[in-house]
Chain A
Amino acid sequence: MIAEKGVWRQLRTRLLFTGPTLFAFITVMIIPFFYGIYLTFTNWDGIATTQELVGFQNYGEVFRDTAFWQSFYLTLKYVLFSVLFINVVAFALAYVLTSGLKGQSLFRAGFFVPNLIGGIVLGFVWQFIFSNVLVYLGKQASIPIFSTSWLADPNKAFWTLVIVTVWQYAGYMMVIYVAGLMSVPKDIMEAASIDGASAWRKLRTMVLPLMIPSFIVCVFLSLQRTFMVYDLNISLTEGGPFASTKMVSMHVYEKAFLSRDYGVGQAEAFVLFLLVATITLIQVYFSKKMEVEA
């Protein structure tokens, strides 16, 4: 009886504090998630008043949809290059901006700014730069590589996406790296200096291993954000030229809302969710093993 009362009281206290959040979480995250999974088993088109259960037919469609796998492959390529360059650039910036440069706070703020601009606006700004500003400069100075718009060539359009993504996220990741660099204990660094270790030696065998937690966070964040890229994709290249830079999110969206194949689109979204979740979990699991203590 007393124990029972205790359980009730405990639950009541918990509900008091977590209840509202839990309620919001369930209604806006959990229920739509499962309702979405339910929709993958129907042939709903997004508007009809009726829908039929079609079993696993939509999942079959997903595996037959070559355009989906092509765009997934393209996204993998984009994620690989973006994550690599974002983190290399961000770490380099952070390293330079913690070395006691004059006006380094100003630089930190400056590099962070692109992250405050939304993806859509950013896409339009860069679209103007790539198809007007650079072309104009290229023609004036007769630099052949800039004299035609990069957005009109499938290969170069892909790189514009990578460049803009790196520019957007490098500043954000830099902030995390700056925090990581500042938390490297001063005493061991001093000890290393007394022992005559070079800057490169200190970076490679002391700073980098101690920064593993920062790397985990940054790689995870950049992985997840670049996998789900949509806003930049639609405003910078619109998937063009001729659908050659259509990332997987855009493909899924168009499947559901443009081709009005809601069930298949939703099934593709779910498959994508599983793939991305697997990749990021693997990344976190393996990089956790690399963590060391000072």
Chain B
Amino acid sequence: MKKFKGLHVLLLALAVMLVVSACGNNSAAPSNEGAASSNQTNASSGSEVKISLLNSKGEIQLQLEEAAKAFKEDYPNITLEILPTAAGQSPFERASALYAAGNPTTITMLDTGDVEKFKDRVLDLSGEKWMEDAVERSVDLTTFDGKNLAFPLAIEGYGFIYNKAVVDKAVGGSFDPNSIQTRDDLENLFKQIEASGVAPLIISPMDWSLGAHYLALAYAGQSEDTAEVAKFIEDLKAGQVDLGSNAVFNGLIDTFDVMMQYNIDKASPLAGTYERGPEVLGKGEVGIWFQGNWAWPQISSFDTADGQYGFLPIPISNNAEDFGNTQISSAVSKRLVIDKEKSTPEQQEAAKTFLNWMVYEEKGQDFLVNKANIIPAFSNITLEAQDPLAASIQDYISRGKTQDSMSTMPADHWSKVGASMQKYLAKAGDRATLVKEIEDYWKSVK
């Protein structure tokens, strides 16, 4: 009997140990603290440093993995691991979840507007060499208290993408994108395309496209001075802007009315999906699509125009001189930050080395421009973009014909005002409804 009791206790102790040790393992193994301390010992003996990068640009996942291998060839003692963000998940969501789990990546790729939220947790990069070569205004939005916290990874731009084969046929000759400088020019082009037997354009009805890209032109187009634009946003929040009588906003929506009239999906404007856009543009079923240079991989898989595509700005008035009529909207859209909370000094150094590698070394530049089709934000990189859309954006940049895209909008802006734009597109609400919904949204922003 006594023996049995002993067994009892033993079993209980075993069960408890099992539970405790299992949990202990679970919490310790993936945490960086464990890994970090082992890294520290490794690094001090002069070998491996392991760093990780959270990628939120899904279309370059494979290229990044290749880049990690190329980087390893140049720096054999640094291993870079690339973690993807699930499609549809916001980088902020994933990064904050990793931080909450105490297991952040060494380098995290964030959208511009999210960097500020992480400012207590990431490294000050003001002293880095690439700061001198970064193009004008590219780090302004990630500089807080005089410290720049993020590496500008990619410039992206958007506007009307035209299929040159289709528009050439429509205008009868070689199409000159500079010939479109006013709304009437644009409507004329639409008419010509229609007359040539092809639908003029497609409006993809995704909320992010309509809200974050199209409507945002109404804010960015207010002034060439970014400080004025920032003030306009503040006024919107304070409810002091009368959008209904704002010339830029009305001009932009007037252009939208024209677009709606020539939309291939006019009968059921909300039925389309993103995937339909590159298909009809690439196959030449429409002449123009409102989208950005990130769409190139998809367009190229349907390409029938021999890679001849380019961008047109969105005209908002009939005066060619107005700001926005000849400027393409572009900005640095993705930033890299380096964690300082859980990463060891060795890991931080290795991460900085990787950033420098991309800017200054041949293989790094090759990855950025040729492999990942990124438009770099550094003036020392002189490689020509391979894809026609990036080349077109680069051309506008080199001519100084750009308008800064809005990249620090409130996080739910695209979803909320995107829904209002969809309503307008489906003609389920008139312009007054749209104005009211946008104004109400801004008043609700804290």
Query: Which A residues are closer than 8 A to B by beta carbons?
Result: 12-13, 15-16, 19-20, 23, 27, 45-49, 131, 135, 148-149, 151-152, 154, 239-243, 254, 257-261
What's the dominant secondary structure at chain B's contact region?
helix
Report chain B residues within 8 Å CB of A151: 270-271
Per-residue contact bits, chain B 414-431, to A (CB 8 Å; 1 contact, 0 not): 011001101100101000
Closest CB of chain A to B424's CB: distance in Å? 9
Report chain A residues within 8 Å CB of B226: none
CB–CB A254/B415 < 8 A: yes
CB–CB B411/A19 < 8 A: no
Closest CB of chain B to A18's CB: distance in Å? 11
Q: A12-B12, A260-B411 are in contact. Are A152 and B268 (CB under 8 A)?
A: yes
CB–CB A258/B412 < 8 A: yes
B93 close to chain A: CB less than 8 A: yes
Closest CB of chain A to B420's CB: distance in Å? 7
Inter-chain CA distance A131–B96, complex, in Å, is 35
Residue of B nearest to A148 (CB): B268
Per-residue contact bits, chain B 1-38, to A (CB 8 Å; 1 contact, 0 not): 00000001101100110110001000000000000000
Report chain A residues within 8 Å CB of B121: 49
Inter-chain CA distance A49–B100, complex, in Å, is 10
Residue of A nearest to B410 (CB): A259
Offer 16 A-B interface pairs, CB within 8 angstroms, sorted by A. Answer: A16-B8, A19-B12, A19-B15, A19-B19, A45-B117, A46-B96, A49-B121, A152-B268, A240-B422, A241-B422, A242-B270, A242-B422, A242-B428, A257-B93, A258-B411, A259-B412
Report chain A residues within 8 Å CB of B446: 261
Per-residue contact bits, chain B 271-290, to A (CB 8 Å; 1 contact, 0 not): 10100000000000000000
Residue of A nearest to B11 (CB): A16
Inter-chain CA distance A241–B272, complex, in Å, is 11
Residue of B nearest to A255 (CB): B412
Inter-chain CA distance A23–B12, complex, in Å, is 14
Residue of B nearest to A241 (CB): B270
Report chain B residues within 8 Å CB of A240: 207, 270, 419, 422
Inter-chain CA distance A260–B117, complex, in Å, is 11
Closest CB of chain A to B133's CB: distance in Å? 31
Please pick, from B23, B99, B269, B419, the residue contacting A47 in the complex, using a CB distance under 8 A.
B99
Interface residues of B in 172-224 (CB under 8 A from A): 205, 207
Closest CB of chain A to B38's CB: distance in Å? 26
Please pick, from B19, B410, B419, B426, the residue contacting A152 in the complex, using a CB distance under 8 A.
B426
CB–CB B12/A131 < 8 A: no
Inter-chain CA distance A259–B93, complex, in Å, is 11
Report chain A residues within 8 Å CB of B273: 131
Residue of A nearest to B117 (CB): A47
CB–CB A20/B117 < 8 A: no
CB–CB B270/A152 < 8 A: yes
Most chain A beta-carbon neighbours within 10 Å: one of B8, B270, B410, B411: B270
Inter-chain CA distance A168–B95, complex, in Å, is 34
Inter-chain CA distance A20–B419, complex, in Å, is 48
Residue of A nearest to B118 (CB): A47
Inter-chain CA distance A12–B419, complex, in Å, is 59
Extra 4 A-B pairs, beta carbons < 8 Å, given A12-B9, A47-B100, A259-B411? A16-B11, A19-B16, A152-B268, A258-B411
Report chain A residues within 8 Å CB of B23: 27
Inter-chain CA distance A12–B120, complex, in Å, is 47
Which 7 residue pairs spanning A and B have beta carbons closest together?
A149-B271, A243-B419, A152-B270, A242-B422, A259-B412, A242-B423, A148-B268
B354 close to chain A: CB less than 8 A: no
Residue of A nearest to B424 (CB): A242
CB–CB A16/B15 < 8 A: yes
Residue of B nearest to A262 (CB): B96
Interface size class of B (residues with CB under 8 A): 35 or more
Q: A12-B12, A242-B420, A258-B412 are in contact. Are A48 and B117 (CB under 8 A)?
A: yes
Report chain B residues within 8 Å CB of A19: 12, 15-16, 19
CB–CB B90/A258 < 8 A: yes
Inter-chain CA distance A75–B39, complex, in Å, is 51
Report chain B residues within 8 Å CB of A149: 268, 270-271
CB–CB B412/A49 < 8 A: no
Most chain B beta-carbon neighbours within 10 Å: one of A12, A239, A258: A258
Residue of A nearest to B445 (CB): A259
Inter-chain CA distance A243–B210, complex, in Å, is 14
Q: A16-B12, A242-B423 are in contact. Are A47 and B271 (CB under 8 A)?
A: no
Please pick, from B11, B99, B269, B271, the residue contacting A131 in the complex, using a CB distance under 8 A.
B271
Report chain A residues within 8 Å CB of B71: none
B267 close to chain A: CB less than 8 A: yes
Inter-chain CA distance A15–B273, complex, in Å, is 56
CB–CB A254/B271 < 8 A: no
CB–CB B96/A152 < 8 A: no
Report chain B residues within 8 Å CB of A13: 8
Residue of A nearest to B99 (CB): A47
Residue of B nearest to A258 (CB): B412
Please pick, from B18, B92, B410, B426, the residue contacting A241 in the complex, using a CB distance under 8 A.
B426
CB–CB A20/B271 < 8 A: no
Please pick, from B12, B93, B267, the residue contacting A15 in the complex, using a CB distance under 8 A.
B12
Closest CB of chain A to B277's CB: distance in Å? 15
Interface residues of B in 91-128 (CB under 8 A from A): 92-93, 95-96, 99-100, 117-118, 120-121
Closest CB of chain B to A16's CB: distance in Å? 5
Report chain B residues within 8 Å CB of A20: 15, 18-19
Report chain A residues within 8 Å CB of B19: 19-20, 23
Report chain B residues within 8 Å CB of A259: 410-412
Residue of A nearest to B423 (CB): A242
Report chain B residues within 8 Å CB of A23: 19
Closest CB of chain A to B84's CB: distance in Å? 18
CB–CB A148/B267 < 8 A: yes
Inter-chain CA distance A241–B23, complex, in Å, is 45
Closest CB of chain B to A4's CB: distance in Å? 16
Most chain B beta-carbon neighbours within 10 Å: one of A19, A154, A239, A240: A240
Closest CB of chain A to B401's CB: distance in Å? 34
Report chain B residues within 8 Å CB of A46: 96
Q: A16-B15, A19-B19, A240-B422 are in contact. Are A152 and B120 (CB under 8 A)?
A: no
Closest CB of chain B to A108's CB: distance in Å? 36
